[in-house]
Amino acid sequence: MRKIFPFMFCALLATQAGAQEISTVTTNTTTEAMMAYQPEIAIIPEPVSLIKNNGHFILPENITIQAGPAMKAVSDHLQEKLSAATGYFVSTNNSADSKATIVLILNNKVNPQIGNEGYQLSVTPAQIVIKANKAAGLFYGVQTLLQLFPKEIESAEVMKGIEWKAPSVEITDYPRVGWRGLMFDVARHFFTKDEVKQYIDAMVRYKYNVLHLHLTDDEGWRIEIKGLPKLTEVGAWSVKKVGTFGDFTPPTADEPRTYGGFYTQDDLKEIIAYAQERFVNILPEIDVPGHSLAAIAAYPELSCTPGAEKYQVRSGEKIMDWSRGAPPTALVDNTLCPANEKVYEFLDTIISQVAALFPFEYIHMGGDEAPRNFWTKSPAVLALMKREGLKNMDQVQGYFEKRILKMVEAKGKKFIGWDEILDGGIPSNAAIMSWRGVKYGVEATHKKHEVVMSPTTYAYLDYMQSDVMFEPRVYASLRLSKSYEFDPIPAGVDAKYIKGGQANLWAEQIYNIRQAEYMTWPRAMAIAESVWSPKEKKNWDTFFPKVEQHFKRLDMSETKYAPSVYDPIFNVTRTADKQILIDLTTEVKGLDIYYSFDNSYPDRFYPKYTEKLLPPKDATQLRVITYKGKEPVGRMLTMPIEELKKRAGK
């Protein structure tokens, strides 16, 4: 896990003379924006341009999709979504049909405005037409179209009694940046092939087009490499532990190493094909030279450190000391040896097979958080430094990264790594994924590196979404509203080098796909709007009402999400006589907070929070819940008074 740093909306509509209402850019005031918001249209990410006309299109019980052979992936996807929820008969017709329900058109003459992933969507009472330059654009047009239908369209089961209608609109849309990624850590905890597909299905609703698979780490090696069988025979398995990751007791010799798994190359081919049908590229990551304990447990000769043959795949016990910051001090040497030629032969084998397996033009080779304290004691590393004229450990890792860069390029691929690789003077033909904040990405563009912005500040989906008392405890907090501030092209950057943006889901504290979904949504909606929509169309006050509409859609698709955005925020101070004073605020507007100090469970008939609270002398806990009108929306939270006293300090 990267831990150095503890870390739109529905169209704004203005009435025009005649029959049209036209989407405007973000207004200057919250009141105007909220007046313009219409819950019938809640598209995430917000389109570039939307005109709402009078009337609706109503799906007939016999639906015809007009689409040519080049559009098969798109028409198949649309056919599946429509038929599953409606139960209607849906067919595809390759020939021109003026009576077709939905018409998919690839432009004969390229429309330069919309590029390769843009589209034009026209919904009238008579027909639906989607036009694009490429099939990917049609696919994204389909995602927008589905969001215009009632929420029940997301159901995998037939929904009875629904009027399947969509408002009449004219939409022109295209992405702000080309790389719109989510990183899924399948190394810390293994997720099955079908669960990865499930994650892909969720992300494409919001027009993501890159799935970064973190395939290797200290806790597991998840990819079959032919000729290196121990990587998966040994490296893919650990002892199952449940609790707080990083604080587990070290496994004993008699505890079975049966927890984990891996993907065969055939599994990965299936996942890649599934993703490609949904216009998603898979970025594979082999994280080296740090985060490599699973590989070293399988092949101890790859380590610089004597005794590595005793190392085992990590099961969540402590192996790093972060008390002095980054890079960490390793308690166990989890690094590949940069002075060992066997390491480069090993990696050449892996990179050759990864390059042949994954069609995407990039391979991610990690490079983050490599501890160097064992390197400083290694005669082989010291000899390497003398031979190559390397002055410090940054340059030692730089030597390693430059050799790996050449290896990747020799296989016809492009190299990308975490921003630490800048410290060793990596050439500009290496792409940078900037995670330690925005500034490293800015610096990288000035050095003419391609950059994917992925800062902890906004885009780390494993971070807590609410108060530390109520979320799985990890390194920092990141609320939805903060994620929404993400700008993949920040001030000071050389924009021509920005490939795009990405959110990362590290899985130390994520044990199953339901928790992975909970941590991803709704924050990945915020990131999706940041990387797709025009910057001027973003507005938190109109984005969040759309999110609430999408909560209902996620309910229909049985996708888990976090309601943490409704949780009150606790702030405490001390009065002049040293009593604590509790200030409650909310991340979103329009909520009422009800509370109790008497250990009972409050509802809207309890006291409503209107001013800072002074807890009764003998109270031991504060319970709170948020309402919107008469409906509870927040979780029932219990905050110990002792915890608040600690936060207030002395």
Q: What is the pLDDT of residues 337-363, one digit of tens each?
A: 999 999 999 999 999 999 999 999 999
pLDDT of residue 326: 80
Q: Which of 117, 217, 285, 317 is catalytic?
A: 217
- Please list, in sequence order, all residues whose beta carbon lies within 8 angstroms of the beta carbon of residue 208, skipping any fewer than 6 positions away: 180, 181, 182, 280, 524, 528
pLDDT score recorded for residue 142: 98
Is 189 marked active-site? no
d(CA 121, CA 129): 6
Active site residue 291: yes
Residue with tokens 């992936």: 73
Backbone angles phi, psi at 29, to 5 degrees: -125, 150
Instruction: Give CB contacts under 8 A, 24+ apart, made by 487-493.
Output: 487/530, 487/535, 488/176, 488/177, 488/453, 488/530, 488/531, 489/176, 489/177, 489/453, 489/535, 490/438, 490/441, 490/442, 490/453, 492/442, 493/441, 493/442, 493/445, 493/451
SS3 418: strand
Q: Which of 46, 317, 369, 471 is catalytic?
A: 369
437/448 Cα distance (integer angstroms) = 18
Confidence of residue 2 (pLDDT cuts 50, 70, 90): low
Mean of per-residue pLDDT scores for the chain = 93
What does the DSSP assignment read for 282-312?
EEEEEEESSS-HHHHHH-GGG-SSTTGGG--
* Tokens at 325, concatenated: 């910051």
Residue that is written with structure tokens 């890649």 in the block = 272
Element (H, E) at 583: strand 580-586
Q: What angle do CA 215, 232, 344 make, to 5 degrees?
A: 70
What's the Cα-to-Cα distance from 12 to each of 206, 286, 330, 364, rounded to whole Å?
19, 44, 53, 40
The 10s digit of each residue's pLDDT in 600-627 is 999 999 999 999 999 999 999 999 999 9
Q: Do residues 294 and 217 make contact, with C-beta atoms less than 8 angstroms apart? A: yes
Give counts: helices (H), strands (E), the chain: 17, 29
Question: In 3D, which of 361, 369, 370, 306 has the Cα closest to residue 336?
Answer: 370
Query: Catalytic residue at 369?
Result: yes
Which of 145-149, 325-329, 490-494 has the largest mean confidence?
145-149
Percent over 70 (pLDDT), the chain: 94
Q: What is the pLDDT of residue 406?
A: 98
Which pLDDT does position 240 carry in this prediction?
A: 96
Residues 6+ apart with CB under 8 A from 108: none
Which residue in 134, 135, 2, 153 sits closest to 82, CA to CA?
153
Tens-place pLDDT, residues 233-275: 999 999 999 988 988 999 999 999 999 999 999 999 999 999 9
User: Any idea which residue has 């009800």 for tokens?
Assistant: 594
Rounded CA separation 435/343 (Å) = 26
Segment 526-536 mean pLDDT? 98
- Closest C-alpha to 399, from 378, 421, 414: 421
Distance CA 553, CA 446 (A): 42
Write out pLDDT tens, residues 6-21.
Answer: 333 333 323 333 333 3
C-alpha distance from residue 224 to each of 68, 228, 293, 297 (Å): 38, 8, 17, 16
Instruction: For each of the domains in the chain, give its residue range(s) and CATH number, in order of start.
Output: 49-173 (3.30.379.10), 179-540 (3.20.20.80), 567-648 (2.60.40)
Is the model's pLDDT at 635 over the cut of 60? yes
157 vs 328, higher pLDDT: 157
pLDDT digits 0-9 by tens, 89-145: 999 998 777 789 999 999 999 999 999 999 999 999 999 999 999 999 999 999 999
- Give the three-class secondary structure for 217: strand
Residue 244 is predicted with a pLDDT of 87
452 touches 500 (CB < 8 A)? yes
Tell me which H or E stretch contains 371: none
pLDDT at 368 over 90: yes
Task: Tell me how far apart the alpha carbons of residues 472 and 469 are, in angstroms, rounded to a whole number.
Answer: 8
Q: Which of 285-299, 378-392, 466-480, 500-514 has the lowest mean pLDDT?
A: 466-480
Q: What is the pLDDT of residues 34-79, one digit of tens each?
A: 444 457 899 999 999 999 999 999 999 999 999 999 999 999 999 9
pLDDT at residue number 38: 55
Cross-strand pairs, 276: none
pLDDT above 80: residue 31: no
Query: What is the SS3 assignment for 176-214?
Result: CCCEEEEEEECCCCCCCHHHHHHHHHHHHCCCCCEEEEE
Q: Report d(CA 153, CA 503) in Å as an integer.
A: 27
568 token code pair: 């009150």
